[in-house]
Chain A
Amino acid sequence: MGKITGFKEIARRDSSYAPVGERIRHYREFVIPLPEEQLREQGARCMDCGIPYCHNGCPVNNLIPDWNDLVYDGNWRAALDALHATNNFPEFTGRICPAPCEASCTLNITDNPVTIKNIECAIIDRGWEEGWIEPKISQRRTGKRVAVVGSGPAGLACAQQLARVGHAVTLYERNARLGGLLRYGIPDFKLEKHLIDRRLSQMLAEGVEFRSNVEVGVTISVDEVLSDHDAVVLTGGSEVPRDMETTPGRELDGVHFAMDFLTQQNRRVAEEHIGDNRPILAGGKHVVVIGGGDTGSDCVGTSIRQGAASVTQIEIMPKPPEAENKALTWPNWPMKLRTSSSHLEGAERDWSISTRAFKGDGGRVTSIELIRNQWETGADGRMSMVEVPGTEFEIKADLVLLAMGFLHPRHDGAVDGCGVEKDARGNVLANEEDYRTSREGVFAAGDMRRGQSLVVWAIREGRQAARAVDTYLMGESSLPG
């Protein structure tokens, strides 16, 4: 497959970005894809490994060597089929997935991995462009009704899979539009929302019934949903953010959760009402983002687009190495310094910093008091983080965004309404075999079950939960899992 010596002859080439000065003036995507010939050449770098580590590096077990080769051969249609065999929404993962597949690529041991993500994105974009993607309407009806609660990537994947084997699926969403974090969390400049709408049209044609603006457990009672359906899948995501309740000044105006900030901007772009929240805007402000992950990075890019005076992102953990020790990490996802396109747009970053207090004037935050920390081995041999005396410093902050991750799903509403058991972390308890919760006929998948994670993991869980539900309803299932 591919070109046997391709990896030795062809260097990795990535897609590029539009210049910073240009892209920060709008909220549209700014990735410039590789021309077709170059992309096909990149496909030739794939070695068609005897043991393809990418198969397991990818949470949805994408058939990566297969479609790399098909792209190299210019057989885009077959590549699209191979891609859809394992992934319902490659247009999402092809844009926003951190690509653990590339970390596990054999070429990553000594060289640069195959540009798997770019190739995936090119295949699916081409598929849409050519009109190859059509609804797959089930030829039979099982007469079974399934409710999927939560329309993020897990819920969407689960609903689509179930509809395709003939179940009547109702997809509940408490917001006005479907998509969950894809819609309201990820900024438009990373994932334009018409991509979601396009998929929703397909799903609608496949028979999924959408019920937005309906919050199970609030607008509609849990019992009503349970009695109306043969099975219920909880895919509500992990929505409760990590807070800093004990930090002095947390109550000051101008200290917000990242997701509140990001959601507002996405609504503005979509010309949707931002609700009764007061606007959170970064324009002209000194913005401090606390938390060095992907959500923090999205806050950086959004703040810059809103015209922030300065953006600083701080992280409590030490700065990770620029390059990983591959002998230790490969084929796993390595801890290393990751610089996103947003960071390149003009943000300061700093590590090993703890927040001591938010300071304000007239109820509004004006600065933030920080201190450097370091890890020390205690008497019991355990590492612990200690503040370094004398390293206190203060920076200006008119807007503080808390992006320190999410603890667990919201419990009020559907979770407690169903009365399902939770695990020690507060996630809904269910295993990865049958996805069943403690309550008969109720399943859980995605971040709601596994805790905060990647879109691609959510898609995997949605697909597998669909198979579990299908098996539960029909005794057996033809769905992949």
Chain B
Amino acid sequence: MIHDLKNVNPEARVSVKLVSELGVGTVAAGVAKAHADHVTISGFEGGTGASPITSIQHAGSPWEIGLAETHETLVRNRLRGRIAVQVDGGFRTGRDVVIGALLGADEFGIATAALVSAGCIMMRKCHLNTCPVGVATQDPELRKLFTGQPEHVINFFTFLAEEVRELMASMGFRRFDDMIGRRDHLDTRSVIEHWKARNLDLSRILHSITPGPGVAIRQCEDQDHGLDKALDNMLIEKAAPALESGTPVRIETPVANTNRTVGAMLSGRIAKKYGHAGLPDGTIHVKFKGSAGQSFGAFAAKGVTLELEGGGNDYVGKGLSGGRLIIYPAKAGNFAPERNIVVGNTVLYGGIEGECYFRGVAGERFAVRNSGVNAVVEGVGDHGCEYMTGGVVVVLGQTGRNFAAGMSGGIAYVLDEHGDFEERCNRSMVDLEHFDENGPTSGGDVMADMTRDDARRLRFMIEKHAEYTGSDLARRILDLWDHYLPMFVKVFPTDYRRALEELKAASAHGTLEGATVAAGE
């Protein structure tokens, strides 16, 4: 994930947020080795106004514990220099910041205090849309009540920084960097006489490490992400005419499973220049041959078509953002593609837009958290379409168990040749229904209205699948359409249907706004 994100935007720092608890140091060391630029140790005293009071008060541990352990583990493993350590969780004053620095943090997260300076009164109603001071609400009436000014926040941070400066001066530090990890400057005294404080032993938190010679105790270098080895450098070079002027290009290249995250950096370039609108359909067409590494086509942008003859790995099309992915087995293969795996697990994880055509079977958790990609595949493993919220998935074969668990939006069409799909589908949130050519039709765009046009839409998508992948199975279904159509089951989330119907009714009455609210509930 860190590598994927770094590819799509090499200039951004990739940060991993960890909960402050015992053992967090080991996790942070792993994160540093996985080349995150930044790690946040998050203490329990923070939390948004939407979190239950029990979570705020009883989940997690103080940031001091996690930070002390993280810093020590990173220093001992000579990893501290290449990762920035941030800490947050209830920071209010300059004193908090100084203690955080002495315990080993480079950076600090301050949210609640800054919000308070802008007018937040900690009503803890952020999740109810009823913030009475207009800070955390979408209600236009309540938003009018917001009185915060940028200057209020500026003042807060100015005074905070001033306090830090004063404390640094009193300890004799000239630069903030000199203060990081200097636990020898921390002292304790028993401030309160309380039975709970009596048995506290802070020595392990305050334990001073003596780093070996040349071992960094603060961030002073950058991670080596190995981006120079990415296949995308070549793709970007060859796609220069498309990136600069939108001239269509076609690239052919072999690919191997050492090529991770193919297409992400290229898509990042497109997004940087053209935004989410991207390039016209098919402007950059890359034909790969071979077995791709993880995250093939991650974040692929509009205008990018990635055609792969061979096979994909896990995370194909992760976060797909408008591109088209076509994957089919090598033509020389003497096996039946519709019975063999062509892409791995967790394909299309969190995709938002685009198209996928996979001639073959996908692994587990296909299209998990998909929110808008339309995909055709010839079979899926367990937990297909889990937590899906949008898009259309066509499965021209068997599914694993627990299909559609937590699926709240989008639809799926499953070819149920043996009539046993119902047993493998998790029906807690979805309805299953059959449809035929005589179903209601809008007569317009087949992808526009999910309550109608089912047969037309299905046929349209299978036709494209056949065209792009040369699938014999798709061809056969189209040829024997009247035979196969009745065997398709439409998986339709109950709430999604209700919301669509309310929207439709409302737009007919011209009260779209009210219906959007209803659909969002």
The 10 closest A-B pairs by CB, nearest first: A50-B124, A51-B122, A110-B145, A50-B123, A49-B123, A106-B132, A4-B128, A50-B122, A4-B130, A5-B130
How far in angstroms is the closest Cβ of chain A from B91? 18
Give Cα A413 to B123, complex, Å: 50
Residues on A facing B (Cβ under 8 Å): 4-5, 7-8, 47, 49-51, 53, 106-107, 109-110, 327
With A8-B141, A327-B147 in contact, is A109–B125 under 8 Å at CB? no
Give complex CA distance A110, B123 in Å: 14
Which residue on chain A has the smallest CB distance to residue B53? A50
Across the two chains, which residue of chain A brings its CB closest to B144? Answer: A110
In the bound complex, how far is the Cα of B519 from the Cα of A23, in angstroms?
56
Expressed in whole angstroms, the minimum distance between the Cβ of A92 and any Cβ of chain B is 31
Within 8 Å by CB of A50, from B49, B133, B139, B145, lies B49
On whether A109 and B132 interact (CB within 8 A), knowing A8-B141, A50-B49, the answer reads yes
Q: How far is the CB of B131 from chain A (nearest CB, A)?
A: 10
Residue pair B123, A8 in contact (C-beta under 8 Å): no
Residue from B125, B130, B132, B139 in contact with A110 in the complex, judged by beta carbons closer than 8 Å: B132
Residues of B within 8 Å of A109, CB to CB, are 121, 132-133, 145
Known pairs A51-B121, A106-B123, A110-B132; list 8 more (Cβ under 8 Å): A4-B128, A4-B130, A8-B141, A47-B130, A47-B132, A49-B121, A49-B123, A109-B132
**Which residues from chain A contact B141 at a C-beta distance below 8 Å?**
8
User: Could you jot down 21 A-B contacts, CB within 8 Å?
Assistant: A4-B128, A4-B130, A7-B130, A8-B139, A8-B142, A47-B125, A47-B130, A49-B123, A49-B124, A50-B124, A50-B125, A51-B124, A106-B121, A107-B132, A109-B121, A109-B132, A109-B133, A109-B145, A110-B132, A110-B145, A327-B147
Cα separation A420 to B125 with both chains bound (whole Å):
50
Q: In the bound complex, how far is the Cα of B121 from the Cα of A51, in angstroms?
A: 8
Chain B's nearest CB lies how many Å from the CB of A281? 50
Q: Which residues of A contact B147 (CB under 8 A)?
A: 327
Nearest-Cβ distance from residue B57 to partner chain A, whole angstroms: 12
In the bound complex, CA of A190 to CA of B497 (Å): 61
Specify the main secondary structure of chain B where it touches its partner: loop
Interface digits, B290-323 against A, CB 8 Å rule (1 contact, 0 not)? Answer: 0000000000000000000000000000000000
Contacts of B124 in A (CB 8 A): 49-51
Measured CA separation A50–B121 after assembly (Å): 9
Question: A326's closest neighbor in chain B, by CB?
Answer: B147
Determine if A47 and B133 form an interchain contact, defined as CB atoms under 8 angstroms apart: no
| Residues in B whose Cβ lies below 8 Å from that of A51 | 121-124
Centre residue among B121, B124, B139, B142 by max chain A CB count within 10 A: B121
Q: Which residue of B lies closest to A50 (CB)?
A: B124
Q: B125: which A residues are within 8 A, CB to CB?
A: 47, 49-50
What's the least CB distance linking B235 to chain A, in Å? Answer: 51
Residue pair A7, B123 in contact (C-beta under 8 Å): no
B340 to chain A, nearest CB (A): 54
Closest A residue to B124 by CB, please name it. Answer: A50
Shortest distance between the CB of A227 and any CB in chain B (Å): 35
By a CB distance below 8 angstroms, the chain B residues around A327 are: 147
Instruction: Output the nearest chain A residue to B128 by Cβ-Cβ distance.
Output: A4
Distance between A243 CB and nearest chain B CB, rounded to angstroms? 44
Write the nearest CB–CB distance from B201 to chain A, whole angstroms.
29
Chain A neighbourhood of B142, CB < 8 A: 8
Minimum CB–CB distance for A297 against chain B, Å: 32
In residues 98-122 of chain B, which contact A (Cβ within 8 Å)? 121-122
A contact residues around B122 at 8 Å (CB): 50-51
A49 to B126, CA, bound (A): 11
- Chain A residue nearest to B134 (CB atoms) is A110
Within the assembled complex, what's the spacing in Å between the Cα atoms of A110 and B142? 10
Max count, chain B CB within 10 A of own CB: residue among A5, A50, A106 = A50
Alpha-carbon distance A49/B125, docked complex (angstroms): 8
Assembled-state Cα–Cα distance A5/B145 (Å): 16
Nearest-Cβ distance from residue B225 to partner chain A, whole angstroms: 42
List of B residues within 8 angstroms of A110 by Cβ: 132-133, 145
Contacts of A5 in B (CB 8 A): 130
Given A50-B49, A110-B145 in contact, is the A8-B121 Cβ separation under 8 Å? no
A47 vs B128: C-alpha distance when bound (angstroms)? 11
Question: In the assembled complex, how far is the CB of residue B90 from the closest CB belonging to chain A, in whole angstroms?
Answer: 14
What is the distance, in angstroms, from A110's C-beta to the closest C-beta of chain B? 5
A5 to B132, CA, bound (A): 10
Measured CB to CB, the nearest residue on chain B to A106 is B132
Residue of chain A at shortest CB distance from B132: A106
A53's closest neighbor in chain B, by CB?
B121
| B123 partner residues in chain A, CB cutoff 8 A | 47, 49-51, 106
A50 surroundings in chain B (CB, below 8 A): 49, 53, 122-125
Residues of B within 8 A of A49 (CB): 121, 123-125
Whole-angstrom CA separation of A109 from B142 in the bound complex: 12
Within the complex, what minimum Cβ distance (angstroms) separates B55 from chain A?
A: 13
- Which residues of chain A come closer than 8 Å to B121, judged between CB atoms? 49, 51, 53, 106, 109
Could you tell me the distance between the alpha carbons of A107 and B123 in the complex, rounded to whole angstroms?
11
List chain B residues, Cβ under 8 A from A4. Answer: 128, 130
Kindly state the separation between the CA atoms of A53 and B133 in the bound complex, as whole angstroms: 14
Indicate with 1 or 0, residue by residue over B133-156, a CB within 8 angstroms of chain A CB atoms: 100000101100101000000000
